[in-house]
Chains A and B, each alone.
Chain A
Amino acid sequence: MKELRIHGRGGQGSVTAAELIAVAAFESGENAMAFPAFGVERRGAPVQAFVRFSNDKIRLRSQVYEPDYIIVQDSTLIKDVNVFHGMKSGGIAIVNTEKGIDAEVPAGIRLITIDATRIALDTLGMPITNTALLGAFAAASGEITFEALKNALRHRFKGEIADKNIQAAKRAYDLVRGGS
């Protein structure tokens, strides 16, 4: 079983991102489970959402404490929250930032930074970063195919909104694949 923890702020779509990844993983033939950690439900407050992936039925109901992957939607969170806490060695951290990050990355963790805010502004016209980060996650982790992610986005959004979100995901996907 593999586990993902998404760090964001209320309003950034962390829960939606977790759900889309689970839908995409399910479409790729895996079992998946997505669920939120409900802390303080207000815009701007740090929030978390989780995804589990497995070939077997997933029974575990606790939150995710030792993730294989993390996604950080907002690098300013790193000041307030130890986003790397409990990460498994060999894990992958995907962080939205326009520059580097101002924190030490634990040994054995592969850091991928991506300017998802820029991609979101270019494609969606709004700083909603989650779908770009999903593209980066698909490329970096291999847990979901881009095709499955595209289908999940089509299922969730309609028409032009779906097209733009797919563009955002594709830009990030290509950037991460090109860079690795």
Chain B
Amino acid sequence: MRFLRHDLHSLSGAYALDAIEAGPERDRFTRHLSRCQSCASEVRGFREVGTALAFAAAAEPPAELRTRVLAAAARTRQLPPEVSTHARPRRTRARVPWVPWLSGVVATASIVVAVLFGFAQAHTQDELNQVRAENQAISLLLSAPGAKLLTHEVTHGGVATVVLAADRHELAVVTTGLPALPPGQVYQLWLIGKPKIVSAGLLPAAKNGQTPAVLATGVVKGDTLGLTVEPAGGSAQPTTTPILALPLPV
């Protein structure tokens, strides 16, 4: 029996409610999901409806359950994270304005790879090692749970890559391909918050088109990361229009 595409798609609701019995039909839909982005996102939305249905059915469990579960957890080894072996498609970076993604150990490993990959494009191994040694704080940031990688294009050219560790209130910024500035001008980073704007430091001079990582601390909810061109030495407040304004998901 062959399924028409429409037929297959209409299974998303039943699938999200675990209402397809185990067998070829469910397998076929599961495979379809891995290829159909819109189906996958529909299933995700439906699962949230399921969550609301579950919360509506909340009931008080027997009190002993807590003790039993915690005791069982204490003697149960946890699974390690799955490490993805698939390279991220490069076009994602160019097309999507910013890409927040997963947190946790897997992400951290990927971010380290992604950032180091960035470095590796521009540096020899020795320089890379030097950068890594100089940025102890940044490695700490990279290993923080919940760290997110964001990339954003900069107006007039270039891309900013940000690793954000929201719970540490820190971020690291690397840029590639920013236009070279005339003497007497610098790039300056800002944390643009509702009540005030604070400087997050100057971008160091680029090497082979890439600026070494800059660490910014004190990132709070509602902050947007900004980048402006300022007179040498930097300014107390931005004096030009930001060429990057990246809202930070803190």
Do they bind each other? no
Residues of A within 8 A of B (CB): none
Interface residues of B (CB under 8 A from A): none
